[in-house]
Amino acid sequence: MKIQVLLPYTTFWTVIVLTTDFWNYIDGVCNVNVRYERDAAFDGVVPTPAWYYINSIPNLSFASCTLACFQSVSVCSGYLFSSQHSSCKLLRTFLTHNDRNGSYIAGDWEYRSRAEILSLNKPVTASSNYDDYNPYVGHKLIYLVDGITNAPGKFHTYFEPYPWVTIDLEKISIIRDVVMFNRADDYGRWLHSVEIRVGNSSVWSEMTTCGTYPGPSETGDIITVECRPSRYGRYVTLKIVHPNYITDDPIARNGNNALVFEEVVINGLYL
């Protein structure tokens, strides 16, 4: 009787320990925070072109599929896994919105994308710095990527027609998306007409468009701009590309804008 009672308990405990060790291994190697995020918007069908895939692996468990992506010699941006068929497809690129919701071969597949936060505490340059004009307010360029949202100090350019900010990722990367945390105190409508570009040079004309956000935004909005398709590069620049539409605020005279963020998060993978 003791054996019948204790064996299920012992087996359950062993599974928990192995699962914890497995994910600690995935998160801890090379001191990199790697996430495998389930995409709830994925419609469960699989893109047909072969160039999407590094390879397809049959008879593989979910955990083994995750590990295969993590240990892949080629850069693995994520995977498709079918529990029904115990099959795993390693992806060489992030699936875009159109990829995730198109007319492809049907199935019961689940999409998980692998991503790291690339922007945390990286060097920041901008067209101007509000702190140079009003240092007592406490806005700093580095607040753009310090990992803190809804703090008194923010990233804030001065008032100009086309303000911009560039984040140096310090390595060539594949960019999945850019998340903008609009200011949470007030004046959120000032965020509009943002274009995001990626490149190996920080020169605007030499960069490639990742995506755009027409706006206008509202105070406290969190906006995700997905690169379609995924972009490669070291530098990411966000720029307001149209004069200010606001007419009832004297600070916006002559079309002047200001870029103000609580935080910007760039998700993707280092190459």
Residue 123 is predicted with a pLDDT of 97
Residue 189 is predicted with a pLDDT of 93
Regions of the chain where pLDDT drops below 50: 1-32, 102-106
Residue 13 is predicted with a pLDDT of 36
C-beta separation of 242 from 188 below 8 A: no
Q: Could you report the per-residue pLDDT of 36-55, keeping only the tens digit for each? A: 767 766 767 677 788 889 98
Residue 160 is predicted with a pLDDT of 95
Residue 41 is predicted with a pLDDT of 66
Residue 103 is predicted with a pLDDT of 39
Residue 18 token pair: 């192995």
Residue 100 is predicted with a pLDDT of 56
Residue 16 is predicted with a pLDDT of 34
Residue 14 is predicted with a pLDDT of 35
Give the Cα separation of 89 and 103 in Å (integer): 18
Which residue pairs, CB below 8 angstroms and at least 24 apart, start in 56-63?
A: 56/87, 56/88, 56/89, 56/90, 57/87, 57/88, 57/89, 57/90, 58/85, 58/86, 58/87, 58/88, 59/86, 59/87, 60/86, 60/87, 60/88, 61/86, 63/19, 63/22
Residue 27 is predicted with a pLDDT of 46
> Phi and psi of 32, rounded to 5°?
-115, 135
Report the predicted TM-score, pTM, of the whole model to 2 decimal places. 0.75
Residue 258 is predicted with a pLDDT of 93
